[in-house]
Amino acid sequence: ATPTALLVGTGRGAQLGILIKGPEVLENTRRVDTVVLDKTGTVTTGRMSLVGLAVAPGEDEEEALRLAGALEHASEHPIARAVAEAAAERTGPLPAPEGFENVPGRGVQGVVEGHAVLVGRERLLADWALELPEELAAAKAAAEEAGRTAVAVAWDGRARAVLEVADAVKETSAEAIRRLRDLGLTPILLTGDNAAVARAVAAEAGIDPELVIAEVLPEEKVDAVRRLQAEGRTVAMVGDGVNDAAALATADLGLAMGTGTDAAIEAGDLTLVRGDLRAAADAIRLSRRTLRTIQ
C-alpha cells in the first residue's frame, strides 16, 4: 500500500466526519466482519429521562427522588443525569453528597443528609446484602418488560424505591445497521443493561435478538470481544463510554463516538465525529474502496 493513497483515504474520511488515528487503521477496517455496538449513547441517544417512580409501602416519593437525585448529581452517567434533573425539578435544589462513589456498571453510593444511599442495579444492592421487596421487584419487572431501565434506590439498609428511565433509539440507528448488514457485517448489541431492555432496543434498531449480549459488567465487555475474536471473527467495536474504552482497545478496530467520553475517543482507532452510527458504515466502505484503489 502506498502511503499517499492511504492518506487520500484518511482525507476523505475527514470529509465524512470520520477521524482516523493513522493511515494503517484502514488496513484493519477492511477485514472486519462483525460489529459490536454498545447500546447506551451509541445505538440510543443516551439522553434518558425519568418516566416512572415506584416506592415501597409507607415510603415518600419526594424523599426517594431527592436522596437519589442528590447522589446522582455527582455522576455523569446518562441514568444519573435523568434522575438528578427530575429530582431538582420536583424537589428543588439538591443537597451535596458526602463520600460519593461511582461503582462502574452497577451504580452509585454515598451519604446524603446523614443517610447511606445506594442507587443502581440489583447487583449493587446485593453487594450490600439488600434485596428489593416484592412490590418493587414487580414494578421493576413491569418496567423492564416495557423496555425501560429500572434502578433501585436504597437508604439506611433498605431498598425503598425503583426509578424508571427511558432512552430513545437514535433516528439514524436502524439505517446505519441496515447499511452495516449490506456490507456483509454482523451487528451485535453489547450492554450492561438488562436483557429485556436490550432486546427491545435491538428489535427497534434491527439487530437479531439472538445477537444481544446483555448484563455485562464493564470489564466483561473486553471478554465478550475476545470471545468473538476466538470464534475467528474480526471485530469492530463501537462505543462512547468510559466503560467501553478497554473493549475499544481490544477490538481489531475501535470506533469511538465523537459525542462520547475522552476515554473512549483515546482508546479508539477511529472517531465518528458527529456521533452518527451511519459514519461507521461509511468508514468501512471507505477503507475497502481506498485499499482496492491501492492494490
List, by residue number, the catalytic residues. 38
The whole-angstrom separation of Cα 129 and Cα 224 is 28
282 lies in the site for Mg ion, by CB under 5 A: no
Q: Closest distance between ligand ADP and the C-beta of residue 232, in Å?
A: 25
User: Under the criterion CB under 6 A, does residue 149 sit at the interface with ligand ADP?
Assistant: yes
Q: Does 287 bind ligand ADP (CB under 6 A)?
A: no
Task: Give which of ligand ADP, Mg ion, none residue 267 binds (C-beta under 5 to 8 Å, depending on kind).
Answer: none
Are the beta carbons of 9 and 290 closer than 8 angstroms? yes
| Nearby residues of 209 by Cβ (< 8 Å), 6 or more positions away | 199, 202, 203
Number of residues that bind Mg ion (CB under 5 A): 5
DSSP 224-272: HHHHHHHTT--EEEEE-SGGGHHHHHHSSEEEEETTS-HHHHHH-SEEE
Among 69, 241, 258, 268, binds Mg ion (CB under 5 A): 241
Give the whole-angstrom CA distance, residue 136 versus residue 208. 31
To the nearest 10°, report the CA torsion of 286, 288, 291, 295: -140
Candidates 16-24, 38-46, 137-145, 271-279: pick the segment binding ligand ADP (CB under 6 A): 38-46
Query: Pattern 34-63, binding to Mg ion, x per CB under 5 A?
Result: ----x-xx----------------------
Contact 7/263 with Cβ under 8 angstroms?
no
Distance between CA 253 and CA 234 in Å, rounded?
8
275 interacts with Mg ion by CB under 5 A: no
Listed residue (199, 158, 203) closest to 177, CA to CA: 203
Candidates 32, 56, 79, 253; binder of ligand ADP (CB under 6 A) is 79
> Residues 10, 270: contact at Cβ < 8 Å?
no
Decide: is 117 part of the binding site for ligand ADP (CB under 6 A): no
Give the helix/strand (H/E) hosting 66.
helix 61-72
Task: Tell whether residue 241 is a contact of ligand ADP (CB under 6 A).
Answer: yes
Residue 119 contact, options ligand ADP, Mg ion, none, Cβ 5-8 Å cut-off depending on partner type: ligand ADP
Is residue 233 at the binding interface for ligand ADP, with CB under 6 A as the rule?
A: no
Residues 169-228 that bind ligand ADP (CB under 6 A): 191-193, 218
Q: Rounded to whole angstroms, how far apart are CA atoms 290 and 199?
A: 36
Closest-CB residue for ligand ADP?
Answer: 192
Q: Is 119 in the site for ligand ADP (CB under 6 A)?
A: yes
Q: Which is nearer to Mg ion, 45 or 234 (CB)?
A: 45
Q: Tell me: does residue 193 bind Mg ion (CB under 5 A).
A: no
Q: Which of 288, 104, 39 is nearest to 179 (CA)?
A: 288
Q: Do residues 117 and 71 touch, judged by C-beta distance below 8 A?
A: yes
Binding residue (CB under 6 A) for ligand ADP from 121, 148, 170, 233? 121
- Residue closer to ligand ADP by CB (options 191, 259) is 191
List residues near ligand ADP by CB under 6 A.
Answer: 38-40, 72, 75, 77, 79-80, 105-108, 119-121, 149, 151, 191-193, 218, 241, 243
List residues near Mg ion by CB under 5 A.
Answer: 38, 40-41, 240-241
